[in-house]
Amino acid sequence: MDGETVTPEATPPRRGVVDWFALNPRIGLLGTIASVIGIPLGVALFFLAQADRDIRYSVSASPTTIVKAGQSSDLRVLFKDKDLNSDVSSIQVAIWNAGKESVKRDNILSKTMVLELEPPTSILEARIKRVTRNLVNFQVDSSANSPGILKLSWDILEQGDGAVLELIYTGTS
């Protein structure tokens, strides 16, 4: 071993996990596809999962005139033993929870919602025609001091729960 030089055997350098991923293009392509699909999907699912309370209402498209004032001389309309000299009309109003979260009485600051007719007119009768479930316990209070105002309350409105009201009032349709 006098003049001989021994060269150490060349050992391949150690490769880490990052190098392994960098040298496998299929893995990179798979990661790119997952990112392209995953990011919009994550954003969409985030917004779909948001719980909200959304009370909506809809008024019937065709109000009904029950009595037209002055058209019949022999017909008299009485309400609580008083003659009515104006038109009497009727509309239906649907109220429901379009949100994903339930609306309880405690979620409403004033404990009641107010439904107001425009222009203000005297409401002769307000009645509940239909409720989605008895558990809702939908109530209508027409004893407000101002004409054309109803106070509405309920115990709980789950998603899709609601009621249909019929309002009979003085005035045109």
Q: Answer yes or no: are the C-beta atoms of 95 and 163 closer than 8 Å.
A: yes
**Domain match, 102 and 28 both:** no
DSSP β-bridge partners for residue 128: 165
Task: Single out the residue in 9, 29, 48 at which a domain terminates.
Answer: 48
Amino acid symbol at 161: D
Instruction: With respect to residue 1, please indicate whether it lies within any of the assigned structural domains.
Output: no
9 occurs within a structural domain: no
- Domains identified in the chain, total number: 2
Instruction: Give the Cα separation of 139 and 127 in Å (integer).
Output: 9
pLDDT, one tens digit per residue, over 76-91 is 777 777 877 788 888 9
pLDDT higher than threshold 80 for residue 151: yes
Query: 94 pLDDT exceeds 90?
Result: yes
- Between 23 and 128, name the one with better pLDDT: 128
Q: Residue 87: which CATH number?
A: 2.60.40
Q: pLDDT value at position 145? A: 59
- On whether the CB atoms of residues 61 and 94 are closer than 8 A, the answer is no
- For residue 33, the surrounding DSSP H or E stretch is helix 25-48
Residue 136 domain flag: yes
Claim to verify: residue 64 and residue 107 sit in the same structural domain: yes
Cα–Cα nearest to 159, from 77, 35, 72, 54: 54
Do 35 and 66 sit in the same domain of this protein?
Answer: no
Domain that holds residue 166: 55-170
Residue-level pLDDT at 127: 92
Distance, CA of 88 to CA of 78 (rounded, Å): 11
Which amino acid belongs to residue 40? P
DSSP type of residue 81 = T
Give me the mean pLDDT over the 7-25 stretch: 73
**39 and 87 share one domain:** no
pLDDT tens for residues 24-73? 888 778 888 998 999 999 999 888 888 788 999 999 888 888 778 777 66
Asked, for residue 41, whether it belongs to a domain, the answer is yes
Per-residue pLDDT at 6: 64
CA 47 to chain centre: 15
Q: What is the pLDDT of residue 79?
A: 77
Rounded mean pLDDT, 100-117? 87
76 domain-assigned: yes
Say if residue 39 is in the same domain as residue 104.
no
67 DSSP β-pair partners: 88
Shared-domain flag, residues 69 and 107: yes
Within a domain: 62 = yes
Residues 159 and 120 in one domain: yes
SS3 65: strand
Residues 77 and 60 in one domain: yes
Q: Average model confidence (pLDDT) for the chain?
A: 84
Q: Per the omega criterion (within 30 degrees of 0), is the bond before 119 cis?
A: yes
Task: Give pLDDT, residue 30.
Answer: 86
pLDDT of residue 137: 92
